[in-house]
Structure 1
Amino acid sequence: MLKPYEENLQKIREEIYGIGEEIIYANKISLSALKENDLSMLKDVTLSIKNLSIKTNEIDNLIVKTLALYSPEAKDLREMVSYLKITNEMLRAGANSKIFVKTFRQSFTNDLDKHSILEYAIPLLKASNSAFEIAVSLLKETDDKAIEAGFRKVSVEESKTDDLYAIIGKNTLKLISKNIELSKDYFDVLSSLRRLEKTADRAASIANLILFARVGGEIEQAK
């Protein structure tokens, strides 16, 4: 039987993982919508930031309560502090996913050059989703080397999103120069895609926090 502290720690991990799964599910729907060029599918993204906020607050309260009651040792304290930061990163990732869906649906009109946008938007969303999914999976990983390898994989995917977004930015400016009256729609699309890059940043931060929790080292400054 697990001790009370260990029970709380296990519950905290599971609750954070559950939030991650909700966001991953929403992101997969978004990717399918872009691949099939069917934005009506985005209506199935029911991610609620209010509900995520309530859940993360409950986890934070449990973390604080556990810290107060059980006075964990240095390693355990490091892990609990990391989880306290991870809940915030999860909430920010969820907000990015939700805003992407809302803004992209509104701005991706038939007047735009959809092919030119989707050519790089789909790989961007795919890399962003991959980074986040790998990061969330590390919550259930117990092997230090596997966590370090996972962190490197997340970093690679996050770097891809930076490169892809830069390409999209340049292409969007070219499209605007050809059709200036659609500049607002193009900029809104670009703004929505920026949220995907930000989600990958959150994934990198989560992976770094998990690495810090289990292995130690330094917490890298999130973007």
Structure 2
Amino acid sequence: MLSSFEKALNNINAKFVGYIEAIEESLKKKELTEEFFLIDLKEFDNEVIKFLALFHPQGEFLREVVAYLKISSFLAKIKKSTKAFIKKYDFEDEKIEALYQNAISTIDVLKLAVKGDTIEDAYSTIISYEKIADEIYKELVLEVKQKDNVDEILKILNIAKKLERISDSSKTIASYLLFAKEGLEL
């Protein structure tokens, strides 16, 4: 039987996984789902802080809880980027589609790593996806310089940056999870 400590920590992890799944579902469907709107990161932060106050974790558990506090702001960035992408993407573009697929893949790897407790194995994959997103974004910037319509350029770059941020924030989340597990310097 799990202790109150373990139940509370497992609840925090489950809530985090649920938030990732809600974001992933909205991103895949390209629509804001009910679960997406139920993501409450302030409540998540409060739950983590309450856990710290009630259980006074030490060592590796303290690292894990602190990592969740740090992760919350990056999860908020992913949520915001997903929402902006869904609301603004109403055209076809090969590079945007590549960034979109890359963002979904990155989120999926992160989700599976958290669920399967395999962040060490997934970390290098997530870094690779983040580098791919950076390269696609750079190529896109060079492409849009050829366009004449400033509004179109800004719209494309705005959407591309949102998708690139999803991969970037996922990498940061993965690094915090790795820190929580192994205690290595960030």
| Alignment match, 2:108 | 133
Paired with 1:196 and 1:158, the residues of 2 have a C-alpha distance of 10
> Residues 26 and 46 of structure 1 are in contact (CA less than 8 Å); yes or no, is this contact kept in structure 2?
yes
Q: TM-score, normalised by structure 2?
A: 0.92
The runs of 5 or more residues in structure 2 that have no matched partner are: none
1:6 Cα deviation from its structure 2 partner: 0.6
Paired with 1:57 and 1:191, the residues of 2 have a C-alpha distance of 26
Does 1:171 find its partner at 2:129?
no
Runs of 4+ off more than 4 Å: 47-50
| Alignment match, 1:87 | 72
Identity of aligned residues (%): 27
Q: How many residues align?
A: 186
Q: Give 1:136's aligned amino acid.
A: K
Paired with 1:217 and 1:133, the residues of 2 have a C-alpha distance of 24
Q: Give 1:25's aligned amino acid.
A: E
1:121 Cα deviation from its structure 2 partner: 1.6
Paired with 1:171 and 1:47, the residues of 2 have a C-alpha distance of 36
* The structure with more radius of gyration: 1
> Residues 135 and 154 of structure 1 are in contact (CA less than 8 Å); yes or no, is this contact kept in structure 2?
yes
Does 1:183 find its partner at 2:116?
no
**How much is the aligned-residue C-alpha RMSD, in angstroms?**
1.7
Does 1:217 find its partner at 2:162?
no
**SS class of match (1:66):** helix
> Residues 138 and 210 of structure 1 are in contact (CA less than 8 Å); yes or no, is this contact kept in structure 2?
no
Paired with 1:63 and 1:14, the residues of 2 have a C-alpha distance of 12
Q: Give 2:16's aligned amino acid.
A: I
> Residues 27 and 86 of structure 2 are in contact (CA less than 8 Å); yes or no, is this contact kept in structure 1?
no
Select 1:198's aligned residue among 153, 165, 173.
165
The runs of 5 or more residues in structure 1 that have no matched partner are: 31-43, 109-113
1:49 Cα deviation from its structure 2 partner: 7.0
